[in-house]
Chains A and B, each alone.
Chain A
Amino acid sequence: MKKYALFLGCMIPQRLPSAELATHKVFNSLGLEIAEMTGYTCCPDPILARLMDRKVALSMSARNLSIAEGQGLDVVVLCNGCYETLWEANEFMKRGETSREINELLAKVGRKYNGTINVRHVVEVLHEDVGIEAIKNQVKKPLGLKLAVHHGCHLFREENGRDIWRKPKQFEELVSATGAEVVRSDVDQLCCGFPTSHVDEEFSLKHNLLPKLERYQHIGVDGIVVVCPACNVQFESGQLALRRYSAKFSIPCLHLVELLALAFGAPSKELSLEFHRSPVSQLVARIG
């Protein structure tokens, strides 16, 4: 049984525990084992925290990686932002000078990171380690839904020379494996607006979220699938916030692992989908 260290990050336990539950159900169904990362911290946040101070950001990331390395496990991440931060930190920690500098700090709290593990997005793990056929074999309830796939900006981050569409395509194929139809549109690659919401909420709502939702509504999607809790928060809280500007939407948004859990036949009640602030129950009703 393949085993991974699960990095939950900050937002999933606080805003989207249903994705935490769904991950356990999906991994269990696929014969994957999860280990907790005791004492982990924020990745830290790819936009804000990393602007604060390079040393503090890298040392916190390296400390997180050292926890998984201590268990001899690769890290699996459910969030695009956490993925980018930890993946980048892992690359930096393979460079002699940076590794020495950060390990000097880690040594002061009794830790060391040797750079022996990999950071994997849940999309990569499901697509590469499990495979589309194995996923399809687990689908008990094929989802006859029209779904918009919001990849999220950080999912496009890729090693130099590699295809930036590698993970986004894997994501789409995983959604298709549930029996859902992936509906493409010209706003797919527009940022949801979560990062800019910290600086200018109105701008992020009107110039990022609104055009996306208008397009999705026009196409008539049943829901939006994401692989990032920050995007999820923006789509859900953003729909509520847009009412201030007389823009009303009612489009469900959920994480890929939740979609897979539903397709694998997990009862929606066991997933506690009521944590969502968008009408996910609407989508569940369509699945039946």
Chain B
Amino acid sequence: MMEEAEIVELLEKNIPDGLLSVVTPRVRKVSAEIAPDIIRKAAETLLCKGARLIIIAAVDAGLDIDLLYHFDLEGKVVVLRVKLGKEKPEIDTVADLTPTAEWAENEAAELCGVRFRDHPKPGHLVLSDKLPEGTFPLGKPFKSKLPDEIGPVAEAVITVGATAPISSLMKRRRVEAGLPPQPPASYSNESQLKEVHELIRQTNFSRQAGYDWKRKKLRGVKK
């Protein structure tokens, strides 16, 4: 019989790249967060050891949809948690690997709007086929937990380390007034701003706020 530690080892060995974290929160339970693109490999790893898919739960968390694949492996519950950004909530099907997934994926699709690529039998599970396209009963607004009013401040503070960066017009006016175009703030110095960004990353705030570091914007629909 596999112990919890052996299950952790199994995951670490077989899906080293996409395994984001793995913990044993209590006896007979292992919980792993994985990248969406390794869901098939992760499911196969467990299924090859005789695991059974119990259920896939979909939770709309505002900016992302959490998919929780619950497996039973020799009496232990193994949960694979996948975060799908709501910009493109797509993931490969596992229905061809385990038939239990077929209806569970259909349920997550119709209730939360997840698209399961290459699903063998897409369609509604319990809801009417006449439901207007894009209607997902358990879907929530595409926004973080931050109040709407705080969004712009949060975005500016993360991006430039200030609530009000200097506009180009103000830079010109400052120079005309005999001041340097910018104060010695972090946004006027690349290495200082880099340090501020690293500090913000360390607090985990940017993740909670749903900040997209590439686009330098908060994710989600703005008010």
* Chain A residues within CB distance 8 Å of chain B: 8, 10-11, 13-15, 17-18, 20-21, 36-42, 44-45, 48-49, 51-53, 55-56, 59-60, 63, 105-106, 108-110, 198-199, 270, 272, 275
Contact = CB atoms under 8 A, between A and B. Distances in A.
A41 B199 CA distance: 12
Categorize the interface residue count of chain B: 35 or more
Counting chain B CB atoms within 10 Å of each CB, the highest count among A21, A51, A53 belongs to A53
Interface of B: 146-147, 149-150, 153-154, 157, 161-167, 170, 173-174, 176-179, 182-186, 189, 192, 195-196, 198-200, 202-205, 208-209
Contacts of B200: 56, 60
A15 B222 CA distance: 25
Contacts of B192: 38-39
Contact of A49 (B147, B163, B165, B167): B163
Contacts of B166: 13-14
Nearest to B181: A13
Nearest to A53: B205
Given A14-B164, A42-B157, A52-B146, 12 more contacts: A8-B185, A11-B164, A13-B183, A21-B178, A39-B186, A39-B192, A40-B185, A52-B157, A60-B200, A105-B202, A105-B203, A108-B198
Contacts of A51: 147, 150
Contacts of B170: 13-14, 17
Contacts of A55: 203-205
B162 A42 contact: yes
A177 to B, nearest CB: 26
Contacts of B183: 8, 13, 20
B195 A109 contact: yes
A44 B184 CA distance: 16
Contacts of B146: 52
B195 A39 contact: yes
B177 A63 contact: no
B153 A48 contact: yes
A63 B157 contact: no
B161 A41 contact: yes
12 contacts: A10-B163, A13-B183, A17-B177, A21-B177, A39-B195, A44-B163, A45-B153, A51-B150, A52-B150, A52-B153, A55-B205, A59-B203
A248 to B, nearest CB: 27
A199 B149 contact: yes
Nearest to B185: A40
Contacts of A53: 203, 205, 208-209
Nearest to A271: B177
Contact of B184 (A36, A42, A63, A108): A36
B173 A275 contact: yes
A227 to B, nearest CB: 18
Contacts of A38: 184, 189, 192
A52 B163 contact: no
Nearest to B146: A52
A11 B161 CA distance: 13
B203 A63 contact: no
